[in-house]
Structure 1
Amino acid sequence: MPAACSHERSLQSIAEYIFVSAISSLAPPERIVIATRESRLALWQAEHVRDRLRRLYPACRVELLGMTTRGDQILDRPLAKVGGKGLFIKELETALLDGSADIAVHSMKDVPMQMEAEFELLAIGEREAPFDAFVSGKYASLAGMPPGAVVGTSSLRREAQIHANFPHLAVTSLRGNLDTRLRKLDAGEYDAIILAAAGLKRLGLGGRIRALLPAEESLPAAGQGAIGIEALAGRADLAAWLTPLDHAPTAACVRAERAVSRALAGSCEVPLGAYAEMRNDGLWLRGFVASPDGSRFARAELHGSADAPEALGERLAAELRAQGAAGILAALG
């Protein structure tokens, strides 16, 4: 292990020890049940949270409740046509409501921007690579693909950017979990596919990535690469025990990105990207709204305080509207 990584892990362990000691007057949880989808990536994320909790609270029984969501079941139509990202979390939220689970673990990019009042996000974990990944057995990059080559993606955001930057390529819908998408690529149904780099890396499939797409070429989705932990609103006990799992720099970036999308009524039906980076002078936030065919684009970027990420996101959304997003959204209407 590199010395820097070892040092960071030691500091993290010390911080967790100090936190647990500071709240020792709060009775430790006896049992925490985590609701999760049953895809391989979702289970990796839930197991990651489970293992963190077990390390923090050795006496606590942390269990997984695997579930199949409607989003997992509907594979023959684009998400934008059947209800959007909320299809991946509804059953998990039902488990929270009926007491079958205490928390639910999600990919933050799958969490709707407008959450129901009964629920809240208690922690956002440290982000893995937020960028899109180019995966192909034939070509090394989007730029190197010949006219008419087929690129598969499930995202209107990615599709719009491919159309704008590489109009000679054909873009077709790609659904299914990560393993299913890779199988379709390997079977020759597509010449290349675009996936979130974070999922590939977390499952040990980073070797499948031919190229990471820079933000200038493919701006990520709000929250991409981050894991969120949801619970019923008002669970102060869970909020306290989950505090060590919240990564403040990632949370600030994700909150800013989600504010952009929320202010613009972002959904699977709107090609929209938002990406924030933490720098020494605060947050640098970029965003875009586009027509699905990539013919119309509104882009903007702003710097602001990491202490008020939602305000920065709302300011960027207003700037995007001024740059033409209002007309694009009206046309999508």
Structure 2
Amino acid sequence: MTIVPSPQLQVRLGTRGSALAREQTRRVMAALAALRPDLELIETIVSTAGDRDKRTPLTVIGGQGVFARELQTALLAGTVDVAVHSAKDLPTEPVPGLVIGAFFSREDARDVLVSRDGRSLADLPPGARVGTSSRRRLVALRRLRPDLEAVDLRGNLDTRLRKVREGEVDAAILAAAGLLRMGWQEHITEFLSLDDFVPAPGQGALAIECRADDPAVNEMLAALNDPAAALAARTERSFLRALGGGCRSPIGAHATVSGDTVTLRVMLGDEAMTRVRLSTWTLPAAEAETRAGALAVEVQRSLAGADPLPV
């Protein structure tokens, strides 16, 4: 009698090609391998619009979806079984046929300053060039240091660090999560306050997307889901969704879960980046996601009465 071994279940994980995206995907692969040693896990690199065009401002080439659309297309086409996204890059509008199977491994959500000579944001001299491609960070910078020059800064994480090192800019504002995941924390000059630099919705979290009609993969991903990270990310994304998702307004939202309550910090600026409103609420955890959407409308209505930002 010949015994034929059972074939391994093959799971293809779609990822962007940057070093950070691949490191994030490797972490998901390691967690899946620990959960299911019988899996055959295959990394599949998918080129996205945001990776191909590193010069055009993100708001011009498509905003929030520029790092996600091709991964979602690959999922729907069956080219990959799972897509690993930085949650801040994933559009809030659901794609028919796709679901977020898990929010995984939230890293520090704060922004950080990386400066060439080790100076903090407060110590940078007037006129210093600070790199960022984020309208949200630009508004926060104008609010705190209108005397600094903001410079559009695109490229992968290692590219942006090189531009600081070589003096193309004096400093850059980046997400702590990427530097920490890559083990590059020695480059961090300063962690920026959550009250001044409210992170992008979903910043620091990983969203793992899959096809809705793939029960085997959905079941596996459910085991990777971090309930606190999921509640925080869904609350932040609800705030963003109520404002129109990929709109051009600078938007920040950061939720922290503590027992039965959620603390939600938000920042909203107008499209012209001349006014900004910051607010903080404590919400019942069971209502946080729903309440965040209603609060977004409230903040938007009050924006016209906010004090103008310094020019």
Counterpart position of 2:37? 58
Structure 1 stretch 293-302 or stretch 206-215: which is displaced more?
293-302
AA matched with 2:83: A
Q: Give the 3 Å change call, closer, same or farther, for CA 32–261 of structure 1 in structure 2.
A: same
Instruction: Please state whether the residue corresponding to 2:123 is helix, strand or coil.
Output: coil
Instruction: Output the CA distance in 1 between the equivalents of 2:191 and 2:246.
Output: 24
Instruction: Please state whether the residue corresponding to 2:248 is helix, strand or coil.
Output: coil
AA matched with 1:47: R
How many equivalent pairs are there?
Answer: 302
Q: Give the 3 Å change call, closer, same or farther, for CA 250–29 of structure 1 in structure 2.
A: farther
Q: Is 2:115–2:170's contact at 8 Å kept on the other side of the alignment?
A: yes
Equivalent of 2:289 in 306, 310, 323: 310
Counterpart position of 2:80? 101
What is the deviation of 1:327?
9.4
2:115 paired with 1:136: yes
Counterpart position of 1:259? 238
Equivalent of 1:80 in 42, 47, 59: 59
What per-residue deviation string (whole Å, max 9, x for no partner) do you get for residues 89-135 of structure 1? 12211211121110100000000111322211110012100000100
Instruction: Please state whether the residue corresponding to 2:267 is helix, strand or coil.
Output: strand
2:144 paired with 1:161: no
2:153 paired with 1:174: yes
Instruction: Output the CA distance in 2 between the equivalents of 1:113 and 1:82.
Output: 18
What is the deviation of 1:268?
6.2
Instruction: Please state whether the residue corresponding to 1:104 is helix, strand or coil.
Output: strand
2:211 paired with 1:240: no
What is the deviation of 1:204?
0.5
AA matched with 2:14: A
Equivalent of 2:104 in 114, 125, 128: 125
Structure 1 runs not aligned, ≥5 long: 1-26, 329-333
Identity of aligned residues (%): 39
2:18 paired with 1:39: yes
1:176-325 to 2 correspondence within 5 Å? 176-267=155-246, 269-291=248-270, 294-324=273-303
Counterpart position of 1:21? none
What is the deviation of 1:29?
6.9
1:23-38 to 2 correspondence within 5 Å? 30-38=9-17
What is the deviation of 1:292?
5.7
For the aligned residue pairs, the C-alpha RMSD in angstroms reads 2.0
2:70 paired with 1:91: yes
TM-score scaled by structure 2? 0.92
Q: Give the 3 Å change call, closer, same or farther, for CA 191–238 of structure 1 in structure 2.
A: same
Instruction: Output the CA distance in 2 between the equivalents of 1:141 and 1:163.
Output: 16
AA matched with 2:158: D
Instruction: Please state whether the residue corresponding to 1:245 is helix, strand or coil.
Output: coil
AA matched with 1:77: T
AA matched with 1:37: R
Instruction: Output the CA distance in 2 between the equivalents of 1:116 and 1:237.
Output: 20
AA matched with 1:90: R
What is the deviation of 1:300?
2.1
Structure 1 stretch 308-317 or stretch 71-80: which is displaced more?
308-317
Q: Give the 3 Å change call, closer, same or farther, for CA 28–166 of structure 1 in structure 2.
A: farther
Instruction: Output the CA distance in 2 between the equivalents of 1:326 and 1:69.
Output: 39
What is the deviation of 1:277?
0.8
Structure 2 runs not aligned, ≥5 long: 1-5
Q: Is 1:108–1:224's contact at 8 Å kept on the other side of the alignment?
A: yes
TM-score scaled by structure 1? 0.86
Q: Give the 3 Å change call, closer, same or farther, for CA 97–83 of structure 1 in structure 2.
A: same
Q: Give the 3 Å change call, closer, same or farther, for CA 106–325 of structure 1 in structure 2.
A: farther
Q: Is 1:128–1:225's contact at 8 Å kept on the other side of the alignment?
A: yes
2:128 paired with 1:149: yes
Q: Give the 3 Å change call, closer, same or farther, for CA 56–281 of structure 1 in structure 2.
A: closer
Instruction: Please state whether the residue corresponding to 2:20 is helix, strand or coil.
Output: helix
Instruction: Kindly indicate which of the two structures has a greater share of residues assigned to helix.
Output: 1
What per-residue deviation string (whole Å, max 9, x for no partner) do you get for residues 193-230 of structure 1? 01100000000101100110011121100000001100
What per-residue deviation string (whole Å, max 9, x for no partner) do you get for residues 160-207 of structure 1? 110111111110100000011111111110000011000000001011
Instruction: Output the CA distance in 1 between the equivalents of 2:142 and 2:153.
Output: 16
Counterpart position of 1:114? 93
What is the deviation of 1:319?
2.6
